[in-house]
Structure 1
Amino acid sequence: MTVQTRLDLADQREGADLAAFLGRLLRFDRAAAVRLQAVPGPDGGVLAVFGRLPLGGSAVLAVRTVRLAGLDAAADLTVSAGQLLESVDEPGAGLGLPAPVTGPSWAGLLPPRSGWQPIGRPPVDRVVHEVQGAVAEFKHRVAGMPDHHRTRQAVDAVADEIWSRPLGAVAGLPLRAAHAAHTIGFLRAGGPLAAYRAGAWLRLDAPAGSVALRTAAAPGAGLGLSPLR
């Protein structure tokens, strides 16, 4: 059996977007790994790339999908984000599949593919406004801490308190989901947003990608985020 080691993309612009996504993940963790799931389809197939945003004491999963020009068979593997970025062709027309790596623990627990129920369609401008206001509050509160109290634990506690708050634009979705989407570059002016729930999982979809997280009631939750800037 021949194992496919290269994927051709249906649109080279999506290759450039994928490279930007991987670059942002590597800003947070130079040793980041991503889980890849490629599924054949009538129009060539789809590749989903899952990455972990290690912001603050915990994390949120970011998901970027790209359309494929063709796919021999389904693929599911975890690889180095840096090696995958290096494999993206300069024109963005294709990418190589690096050798698999031992997956981090988060890669074994991904959001479900089905069973999602809609919980809201927030206006992107309102969501961005809320996130920017929360970032400003975070900066103000951290700047006001005495130097000897400004520990990583104290900063993460402030971040977790802020990002655990509900997003005003969507009942049931925490601010941390919107902040993660904003930080990874998924929130774009005029782009439609949609929020969903499936069991313990929450998801926020934007045209450029999705973020997913588990609720505090679920094992492995507590996904607090610290703003980058």
Structure 2
Amino acid sequence: MTANPRLDLADQGEAADLAAFLGRLLRFDRAAAVRLQAVPGADGGGVLAVFGRLPLGGSAVLALRTVRLAGEVAAADLTVSAGQLLESVDEPGARLTLPAPVTGPSWAGLLPPRSGWQPLGQPPVDLVMDEVRAAVAEFKRRTAEVPEHHRSREVVDALADEIWSRPLGAVEGLPLRVAHAAHAIGFLRPGVPLQAHRAGPWLRLDAPAGSVALRTGGAPGAGLGLSPLR
């Protein structure tokens, strides 16, 4: 991809959706990196998969947004700055220019598998959103109840981790953390269909706008700070 760093997107909507996704990632981490995988299509065009990490507690949650590509597409796999990629998105022209690769963070070396996923269920999005909102409200309330002189980052992180580690009632097998991540990145929207899956230690929640995946039992980046949705 070095000789042809520009990618043509399928339309302006794809460019706008990619820009919104990158903007949300940067809200959590201004120095965020994303791993990109460009896959050519059999009849031209192709897909660009964009992976980013959401720092939401003791286990790294990954968010995936796919973007439809047009024109000639060469296979590529690289890690770049999310901020530089966002700056390169030309929404009116429906194109982007790939920034220079960066040294990838540890999470970028361990992505969810492409196959082997087993269905866990199709949780109703309204119930999932209700659970996330209730958990956010509890986090705010309990944080406010902690005396200010005891409200350290460690205390707040431990409280958030306790809440988001609970099981999601709308579907068996997923923690609230996964739904929280999907909500924080903008994938949960009223009326959209959801699907939950498991593959080995990985859990995944799919929505039309993208997917979030969590590696259970510890993952690269474990122990980093929390950024609870407010």
Q: Could you report, residue by residue, the CA deviation over 1:97-124 in whole angstroms, capped at 9, with x for unpaired residues?
A: 1100011111111111111111010010
Secondary structure at the counterpart of residue 27 of structure 1: helix
**In 2, Cα distance between equivalents of 1:198 and 1:30:** 31
Alignment of 1:33-112 (within 5 A): 33-43=33-43, 44-56=45-57, 58-91=59-92, 93-112=94-113
Q: Determine the structure 2 residue equivalent to 1:210.
A: 211
Q: Secondary structure at the match of 1:68?
A: strand
1:152 CA drift (Å) = 0.6
The within-5 A match list for 1:159-198 is 159-198=160-199
Indicate how the Cα distance of structure 1 residues 200 and 193 shifts in structure 2: closer, same or farther if over 3 A, else same: same
SS of 1:36's partner is strand
CA deviation string 1:136-193 (max 9, x = no partner): 0011110000112111111111111111111001100000000000011010111100
- Counterpart residue number, 2:14: 14
Deviations 1:38-80 (A, max 9, x none): 1011251110000111234553111100111134321000001
- Please give the TM-score of this superposition, normalised by the length of structure 1: 0.94
Matched pairs, number: 228
- Whether contact under 8 Å (1:63, 1:209) holds in the other structure is yes
Counterpart check, 1:31 vs 2:31 = yes
CA deviation digits over 1:4-28, x for unaligned, max 9?
2011111220110100110111111
Describe the SS at the equivalent of 2:70: coil
Whole-angstrom distance in 1 between the partners of 2:131 and 2:141:
15
TM norm structure 2? 0.93
Which residue type is aligned with residue 23 of structure 2? G
1:113 aligns with 2:114: yes
Answer with 166-175 or 47-56: which moved more.
Answer: 47-56
Tell me the distance in 2 between the aligned counterparts of 1:75 and 1:64. 16
Backbone CA RMSD of aligned residues? 1.8
The residue identity in structure 2 corresponding to 1:123 is P
Answer yes or no: is the 8 Å Cα contact 1:54–1:60 preserved in 2: yes
User: How many Å apart are 1:222 and its aligned residue?
Assistant: 5.7
Tell me the amino acid that sits aligned with residue 5 of structure 1. Answer: P
Q: 1:219 to 1:207 in 2, by over 3 A?
A: closer
CA contact (8 A) 2:60 2:220 kept: no
- Checking the alignment, whether the CA contact within 8 Å between 1:39 and 1:71 is kept in structure 2 is no
Distance in structure 2 (CA, Å) of the matches to 1:121 and 1:146: 41
Q: Which amino acid aligns with 2:208?
A: P
Query: Structure 1 unaligned runs (5+)?
Result: none
What residue identity is the alignment partner of 2:215? Answer: R
CA contact (8 A) 1:160 1:226 kept: no
Q: Distance in 1 between matches of 2:114 and 2:4?
A: 24
> Structure 1 residues 64, 111: CA separation in 2 closer, same or farther (over 3 Å shift)?
same
Identity %: 82
- Counterparts in 2 of 1:147 and 1:96: CA distance versus 1, 3 Å: same
In 1: Cα distance, 2:72 partner to 2:64 partner: 20
Query: 1:219, 1:82 → 2: CA distance?
Result: 24
Runs of 5+ unmatched residues, structure 2 = none
